Chain A
């Protein structure tokens, strides 16, 4: 077997990876150079994507280059950029001023826990930027310089920012523990904006952004391709259930526009969750439509700059207006919901052409989405179940012992904690929680959010995935858990690696995949295979002797 490379999981032996402790190095942090070892950083954004998006300083460069080809007046640009943001974001200004370096946030970051690099303590990550702030924007720093914790802005500082702001997944876990709510994610977002002013982007983020701008989704799937994809899904659903589901696409006058992260169009196991939505909507007869133009719920703009969030997000309301729908339904995704909950309406609203969302099946008015007019699928489905609108047989999932991973953003930028659990408990008989320090608002990141989930960043992903992977391992050992459910497209991709590494052979699933397993569809044949087209032993046993007639299951 060929030797595994640095961008492959097998390259990293657990014992090797765990050779660290939480002790900082003897040199002070200002004098410790950044170690750009392969596996711990991400390839730069390609010039063509920057050009397509009208972003500054497009060029080809490599992280390992000595010269990053910054604009001549780079320093001015950064300081001016900081000045502007200090006058625009109270968060930034306050967070720069009031940190007392109490260290409460220090061991809360998954990258610090899994790697021990002191600059991955959230407080340190912020200090990387704060030290410049002190030097150039505060009286004490101007007078006392280094003694007051200030330092000179140099190219090495910029490189260090690039390294560590792309080692933060903007998960906000640190913010939960900080006595002032200092949110390092916010500092990372702004740090990345500053880097962006110099043309420093990572390709794993900026290529999806460019794709999304052009084709409507991160993956760059063109309209006819999306149609093909959904048709494939429909075929698999038919193979599994015998039911042919519709694929409404860009349908004017539909009641609901459905938007979900495009990761679910391409990457397993997200695809099965996507099929789950399609089956569910068919089953309840929802008058909905997909859009090829707004075919992305996720928003890698969040990992780029506030302006980019807005540029990408604008499509959702615009498309809802063009199609004349009444309200919008959003799929299972993490950072997508941060944007939809905390940015969308402010940036691109008000959507006064829409109506307050109301479930056509239960009559429930989603008052908590009165202004944005956008409902989370987990709220929608939980409400369906609550009103008995779905015929569910949770024993269909008896081959699964499932635990639930709260994705960072739904947990800490929204608080949608009970809805997914309610749905899970209604579609599965065996649901086990991971330890309390690792779920709900204290949940751990998958290690690959915020645009870090690429293979060349494998070492950091495995390190960052340690706390989550270890918690999965715990319930695996204790309860025999064999599946990890999550409601996030990035998770579905990255946690697969995390589980393969830290808790094999636990598999990853979306919640609506589990819903679709339990869903007793009208007119379905006796299902022997799930949407993965795997034969499920106990489904076969049930199917054989009962010999039910088609359509009998919904009475």
Chain B
């Protein structure tokens, strides 16, 4: 159920847009109204989310330290994995966000029952898949800026040329498109194939995967298998940007389906786990330096608690202390 329902949902979403345009002629709804709504939900929702997070205080400085602390000049501290200052934190976060540092550590644990023996093997597949997925998605997104700019900036054209470096096919296949589709497919497969992962996965994990897979596939189909009127699309995107939109009838149903799935993704974004994109920057176990013995960290809601004072203690044990010859405050 957790797999099937999201799959059906994405198929329905696809058909809605495809037939909505092809059969019912709802170009304006799918080409203009939904993109604006989705964008507003995305921006407002994500900002709201981030502000809500940021408004919650960080009462304690609790970084997870993954290396040697800074103590003596003669012991080399681990500047990135156990940062003692802002620079180290920036480094740690950069490594985490750009290179998925923690996933890179991943191991696989196996048990041989005789002995028994616990063995750990390096396991970088998730890291590789994650990197491939996120980076190719970023590059594909940047490439898409060619539809939103006129003239198209040189950087984007350069990136595009680099991406199509192998010059295979007409129009050329972009390396990132292929990597992207493979990576999403792999992320999906591991979720259903690995028994533990299948066990923990929710519909909310499959839904964005199918959505992204749908977006990727429709995009790929449009570029390589179907005729798509690029000029018409560009008119639409530029129109959207200049708040003077008109949804062209020439663009295919496939294009509108592609666009609609993107809209759904944008609108869904602030509500689920996809917010990890922003949340990772705010995670207190990673973005704080380990300097709580050097600088006092302030808890804004620190409140007085009931303690057992020394006076009360001496009140109770004073006699015994006196007998044992332990010095007292009283007398």
A residues lining the B interface (CB < 8 Å): 14, 18, 22-24, 28-29, 54, 86-91, 93-95, 97-104, 106-108, 113, 118, 121, 123-124, 127, 138-140, 144, 147-149, 172, 175-183, 186, 213-216, 222-224, 227-228, 249-252, 292-293, 306-307, 310-311, 314-315, 318-319, 322, 340-343, 345-347, 349-350, 364, 367-372, 374, 379, 382-383, 386, 411-419, 422, 435, 437-438, 440-442, 466-467, 470-471
Contacts and interface: CB of A to CB of B under 8 A. Distances in A.
Contacts of A216: 313
A172 B293 CA distance: 20
Interface residues of B, number: 97
B72 interface: yes
Contacts of A94: 53, 279, 282-284
A382 B305 contact: no
B279 A98 contact: yes
A176 B301 CA distance: 28
A319 B302 CA distance: 21
B280 A113 contact: no
Interface stretch (B110-118, B145-153, B217-225, B228-236): B110-118
A19 B13 CA distance: 46
Contacts of B326: 223-224, 227, 249-250, 292
B195 to A, nearest CB: 5
A224 B324 contact: yes
B290 A414 contact: yes
Given A88-B301, A368-B69, A100 B102 contact: no
B66 to A, nearest CB: 4
Q: Which of B67, B72, B78, B298 has the most CB of A within 10 A?
A: B72
Given A22-B196, A88-B56, A176-B105, A307 B305 contact: yes
A415 B68 contact: yes
A-B CB proximity, top 9 nearest: A415-B69, A224-B324, A98-B279, A181-B285, A415-B65, A181-B286, A149-B202, A437-B120, A98-B276
B327 interface: yes
B310 interface: yes
A372 B293 contact: yes
Given A88-B57, A98-B275, A293-B310, A416 B106 contact: no
A252 B327 CA distance: 9
Interface stretch (B19-27, B164-172, B315-323): B315-323
B65 A422 contact: no
Given A22-B195, A322-B310, 12 more contacts: A90-B56, A91-B62, A93-B52, A93-B56, A103-B126, A181-B285, A182-B285, A215-B317, A346-B59, A346-B298, A415-B290, A441-B81
A368 B71 contact: yes
A102 B126 contact: yes
A422 B273 contact: no
Contacts of A419: 71, 75
Contacts of A251: 327
Given A90-B282, A346-B59, A368-B294, A181 B64 contact: yes
Interface in B242-295: 271-273, 275-276, 279-280, 282-286, 290, 292-295
Contact of A178 (B49, B102, B272, B323): B102
B37 to A, nearest CB: 16
Given A179-B96, A224-B320, A467-B118, A345 B297 contact: yes
B71 A103 contact: no
B284 A91 contact: yes
B130 A149 contact: no
B69 A183 contact: no
A144 B202 CA distance: 12
Contacts of A442: 105
B295 A371 contact: yes
A102 B205 CA distance: 9
Contacts of B285: 91, 175, 181-183, 186
Contacts of A227: 324-326
A297 B115 CA distance: 38
Contact of A104 (B57, B71, B102, B118): B102
Q: Which of A99, A341, A471 has the most CB of B within 10 A?
A: A341
Given A179-B103, A422-B75, A416 B69 contact: yes
Contacts of B75: 418-419, 422
Nearest to B58: A90
A217 to B, nearest CB: 12
Contacts of A99: 273, 276
Interface in B44-58: 49, 52-53, 56-58
Nearest to A116: B111
B72 A382 contact: yes
Contacts of B57: 88-90
Nearest to B278: A98
A224 B305 contact: no
B109 interface: yes
B308 A315 contact: yes
Contact of B58 (A91, A139, A466): A91
6 contacts: A28-B199, A180-B280, A368-B294, A379-B71, A437-B107, A467-B109
A342 B62 contact: yes
B275 A346 contact: no
Contacts of A182: 283, 285
A216 B279 CA distance: 41
A37 B308 CA distance: 38
Contacts of B76: 418
Contacts of B324: 223-224, 227-228
B69 A347 contact: no
B43 interface: no
A90 B271 CA distance: 18
Contact of A370 (B5, B81, B294): B294
B204 interface: yes
Q: Which of B62, B195, B204 has the most CB of A within 10 A?
A: B62
Contacts of B106: 104, 177
A312 B58 CA distance: 22
A306 B68 CA distance: 26
Given A90-B282, A101-B205, A368 B70 contact: yes
B28 interface: no
B155 interface: no
Contact of A322 (B108, B306, B329): B329
